[in-house]
Amino acid sequence: MYRVKKYVKTIQKNLDKQTETLVNAFKNVENLKFPADAKVLIVVSSMDDLSDEQFEIYLAVNEDMFDSVDAVDDNSEYSDGVYLVDSAILYKEFDTGKQLEQFVDFFEKNDLEEITMKEVSDWVKKCFDLAQVTLPLPIYFRFTDEEDALNLVTGKWEEDQMEIEL
């Protein structure tokens, strides 16, 4: 049987397992070169469905809050995006479709989307702070298809990405 407190502790534990990976990835971002039209770095969680078993964290190099810079060819010294965490377990892998179905029911019944988003956001901010990097561009964290964006430098949520001035 699933319990909310146990679910939260499990995702915290699984996120903690990826802390070193994300901290080092943030440190590596400091060494990247970006195209001239880059104005902002967007750290995106690829969890399209927050009840998914796995997640990824991707750094996009954008010309604004929505549009990435033109793709950079493989021989270029510039980066237009990079995976910071690639395919990590958020909760657990399920052996059967029935187990997954039961979990999704639990997830939806307990409205765990916001709780999960908060845990992941807090963890990303913590890792960014631990990395102690200075970047040449503003950097935000957001979930795919969400309007809010977390300024990783200030720790403040921006409710409308359309109003963020770069």
Strand duo 157-158 + 139-143: pairing: unpaired
CA atoms within 13 A on the CB side of 113: 11
The C-alpha angle 28, 148, 42, rounded to 5 degrees, equals 20
**CB-based contacts of 64, cutoff 8 Å, min separation 6:** 39, 40, 166
49 pLDDT higher than 70: no
Mean pLDDT over all residues of the chain? 88
User: Is 80 exceeded by the pLDDT of residue 60?
Assistant: yes
Q: 54: which 2 tokens? A: 């796995």
d(CA 133, CA 136): 10
DSSP code per residue over 10-59: HHHHHHHHTHHHHHHHHHHHTT-B--TT--EEEEEE--SSTTSSEEEEEE
Task: Give the residue among 61, 59, 45, 65 at the shortest CA–CA distance from 121.
Answer: 45
Output the pLDDT for position 127: 98
pLDDT digits (tens, 9 = 90+) for 112-161: 989 999 999 999 999 999 999 999 999 999 998 888 999 999 999 998 78
Kindly list the domain boundaries of the chain, sorted by start residue. 4-163
